[in-house]
């Protein structure tokens, strides 16, 4: 490793370390606010915000400890609950941008053996892309994100659908290439990260899209329990 690489690694590690401090402060403030949210029956917002802060902290810790390669823990996760959480997580952004969430969740959808944080990370990236694709649409169509779960043979399917800007074929072929982005503010890492996580869970992520019409991203996972590592 060159001196320059060591220096930039140290800088990133220092930054990661320092980002944790404001997160701790925000988490403490949310815990203080929670009793007031209980009074108006909105404590779920605090719970989800706190769990998001925990998730960010775990990601940062995993980065700091990446030399010791901690493998994330898998457990049986209720996907429908995670999708319901997505609606709350993006509620404000959806309201501001006049986006509606629809859910078509199979009530008999089995629990899935995944790392909950990683699975959430995938859904956050997909819903964020859907919101951004809908914000780009300038006509006055009703902007909708549909979250679906369904069983199909030996596979379970989790689907995030939007009727936003859509993509042409050349974008679709480059989607999973790291740093490929068409956004001035994007890093182009969202979908490559999703693919890596889904494939680690023995799943497949696929895309259907039509320019100006919308996009469907489908995750297929094996329905039988996966060995916990
Ligand atoms: N739902 C979608 N609708 C339309 N285009 C999409 C959608 N999802 C992804 N894309 C296209 O794929 C590109 C890559 O997406 P990806 O999530 O990997 O990166 P990004 O969104 O540009 O940046 P980041 O996720 O790192 O903030 C996007 O720039 C966009 O052009
Ligand atoms: Mg993205």
Within 8 A by CB and 6+ apart from 102, the residues are: 144, 145, 146, 147
Residue nearest to atom 28 of ligand 1 (CA): 181
Residue range 83-91: mean pLDDT, rounded: 92
Q: What is the pLDDT of residue 224?
A: 63
Share of the chain above pLDDT 90, in %: 72
Say whether both 85 and 190 belong to one domain.
yes
- Which residues, by Cβ under 5 Å, contact ligand 2, an ion? 129, 190
Measured CA to CA, the distance from residue 206 to residue 220 in angstroms comes to: 8
Measured CA to CA, the distance from residue 109 to residue 107 in angstroms comes to: 6
Spatial contact of 218 and 157, defined as CB atoms under 8 Å apart: yes
Q: What is the pLDDT of residue 36?
A: 95
Quote the ligand 1 centre to 11 CA distance (angstroms).
28
Say whether both 132 and 183 belong to one domain.
yes
Q: What is the pLDDT of residue 15?
A: 82
Residue nearest to atom 25 of ligand 1 (CA): 190
- Residue to substitute in 130, 191, 207 for testing ligand 1 pocket (most ligand atoms within 8 angstroms of CB): 191
Say whether both 114 and 184 belong to one domain.
yes
Locus of tokens 């094996």: 222
Residue 58's domain spans which residues?
Answer: 3-64
Q: Which of 33, 64, 95 is the last residue of a domain?
A: 64
Does the pLDDT value for residue 67 go beyond 70? no
Quote the ligand 1 centre to 100 CA distance (angstroms).
20
Q: What is the pLDDT of residue 63?
A: 78
Residue range 84-101: mean pLDDT, rounded: 93
- Residue to substitute in 90, 146, 176, 181 for testing ligand 1 pocket (most ligand atoms within 8 angstroms of CB): 181
- Which ligand 1 atom lies nearest to the CA of residue 160? 1
Band (pLDDT 50/70/90 cuts) for residue 229 is very low
Quote the ligand 1 centre to 181 CA distance (angstroms).
6
Q: What is the pLDDT of residue 141?
A: 96
Please report whether residue 35 resides in a domain: yes
Within 8 A by CB and 6+ apart from 113, the residues are: 74, 75, 76, 77, 225, 226, 228
Cα dist from 28 to 1, 33, 49, whole Å? 39, 9, 11
Say whether both 36 and 90 belong to one domain.
no
Band (pLDDT 50/70/90 cuts) for residue 153 is confident
Burial class (CB in 10 A: 0-12, 13-18, 19+), 61: middle
Q: What are phi and psi of 204, to 5 degrees?
A: -130, 135
Say whether both 140 and 37 belong to one domain.
no
Say whether both 47 and 148 belong to one domain.
no
Say whether both 104 and 173 belong to one domain.
yes
Q: Which of 34, 64, 94 is the last residue of a domain?
A: 64
Does the pLDDT value for residue 228 go beyond 60? no
Residue range 172-177: mean pLDDT, rounded: 96
Residue range 209-227: mean pLDDT, rounded: 87
Q: What are 5-64's pLDDT values in tens digits?
A: 566 777 787 788 788 889 989 999 999 999 999 999 999 999 999 999 999 988 888 877
Number of domains in the chain: 2
Q: What is the pLDDT of residue 227?
A: 46
Q: What are 120-139's pLDDT values in tens digits?
A: 999 999 999 999 999 999 99
Quote the ligand 2 centre to 103 CA distance (angstroms).
21
Q: What are 180-211's pLDDT values in tens digits?
A: 999 998 889 999 999 999 999 999 999 999 99
pTM: 0.85
Share of the chain above pLDDT 70, in %: 90
Residues within 6 Å of ligand 1 by CB = 125, 129-130, 133, 162, 164-167, 171, 175, 180-183, 186-191, 215
Quote the ligand 1 centre to 190 CA distance (angstroms).
7
Please report whether residue 186 resides in a domain: yes
């Amino acid at each position: 490793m060159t001196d320059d690489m060591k220096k930039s690694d140290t800088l990133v590690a220092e930054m990661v370390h320092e980002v944790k401090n404001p997160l701790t402060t925000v988490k403490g403030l949310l815990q203080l606010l929670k009793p007031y949210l209980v009074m108006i029956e909105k404590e779920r917002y605090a719970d989800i915000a706190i769990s998001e802060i925990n998730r960010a902290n775990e990601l940062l810790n995993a980065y700091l400890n990446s030399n010791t390669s901690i493998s994330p823990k898998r457990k049986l996760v209720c996907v429908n609950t995670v999708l319901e959480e997505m609606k709350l997580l993006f509620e404000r952004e959806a309201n501001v941008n006049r986006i509606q969430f629809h859910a078509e969740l199979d009530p008999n959808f089995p629990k899935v053996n995944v790392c909950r944080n990683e699975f959430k990370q995938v859904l956050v990236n997909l819903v964020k892309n859907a919101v951004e694709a809908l914000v780009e649409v300038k006509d006055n169509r009703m902007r909708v994100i549909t979250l679906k779960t369904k069983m199909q043979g030996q596979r379970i399917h989790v689907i995030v659908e939007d009727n936003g800007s859509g993509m042409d074929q050349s974008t679709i072929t480059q989607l999973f290439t790291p740093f490929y982005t068409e956004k001035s503010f994007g890093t182009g890492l969202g979908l490559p990260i999703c693919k890596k996580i889904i494939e680690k869970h023995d799943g497949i992520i696929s895309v259907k899209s039509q320019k100006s019409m919308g996009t469907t991203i489908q995750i297929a996972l094996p329905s039988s329990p996966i060995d916990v590592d």
